[in-house]
Amino acid sequence: MSRAFIKEDLDEPAPKYQLPDPESPYYQEAAAWALLQGADQGDSRSAELATGYDWGDPILASNVILILKKAETDGEDRVAQLARRFLSASGRPDVP
């Protein structure tokens, strides 16, 4: 393959996720938000590496359900869409 088609340098730095201490009671909520943010930016892998959770991790489902409910109430369609995708990947597609 021609080197003309290989992107060797990054135009944008990897996103930084501000997360509380992993021992914090708010860590899982922050991790859920980070995963949704990463998916919205098209960079789920960076969010997974930053949080230590995979996309669709069932441990975060209860947090994502709360995010989904608030997003629907607030009319945040993109957040709701991503939350539904996360829940589907977690094996919880039955959640509204």
How confident is the model at residue 3, as a pLDDT? 44
| CA–CA separation, 92 and 68 (whole Å) | 13
Structural domain includes residue 76: yes
Structural domain includes residue 12: no
Residue-by-residue pLDDT tens, the chain, 96 positions: 444 444 455 566 667 889 999 999 999 999 999 999 999 999 999 999 999 999 999 999 999 999 999 999 999 999 999 999 999 999 977 666
Structural domain includes residue 51: yes
| CA–CA separation, 28 and 26 (whole Å) | 6
| Residue bearing tokens 């859920």 | 32
Structural domain includes residue 8: no
* pTM of the complete model: 0.82
Structural domain includes residue 14: no
Task: For the chain, state the CA radius of gyration.
Answer: 15
Encoding tokens for residue 5? 């088609």
Number of domains within the chain: 1
Query: Domain limits at 39?
Result: 25-96
Structural domain includes residue 3: no
